[in-house]
Amino acid sequence: MRFFAALAFVCALAACQPVAEPAAPPAGKVLYLGQALYDDAVFDRDVLAMQAALSQHYGGLERAIIGGNVLPDMPPLSEPGKAVAQLAAEAVDGRDLVVVMLTSHGRPGEMAVSLPGEEPRVLSGARLAQILQPLENDLQVVILQACYSGSLIPALRHPNRIVLTAARADRPSFGCQPDEKNTWFIKALSAELAAPGSWQSVFARTRARVRAYEAAQGMTKHSEPQSEVGAAMAAIWKGQR
The pLDDT assigned to 27 comes to 63
Amino acid at 84: V
Residue type, 51: Q
Flag whether pLDDT at 1 surpasses 80. no
Whether 12 has a pLDDT exceeding 50, the answer reads no
Whether residue 164 has pLDDT greater than 90: yes
What are the tens digits of pLDDT across the range 99-147?
A: 999 999 999 999 999 877 778 899 999 999 999 999 999 999 999 999 9
**Nearest by Cα to 228 from 147, 182, 169, 186:** 169
Alpha helices in the chain (DSSP H): 41-58, 80-90, 125-132, 153-156, 184-193, 199-216, 234-237
pTM for the whole structure: 0.88
Indicate if the pLDDT at residue 11 is higher than 70. Answer: no
For 211, other C-beta atoms within 10 Å of its C-beta total 19
> Domain-by-domain residue ranges, the chain?
30-237
**Average pLDDT value for residue range 2-23:** 38
27-45: per-residue pLDDT in tens?
A: 689 999 999 999 899 999 9
**pLDDT tens-digit map of 183-218:** 999 999 999 998 889 999 999 999 999 999 999 999
Q: What is the pLDDT of residue 5?
A: 38
Say what the pLDDT of residue 241 is.
Answer: 66
CATH code of domain 30-237:
3.40.50.1460
Closest alpha carbon to 224 in 177, 171, 187, 158? 171
| Residue 195, pLDDT score | 87
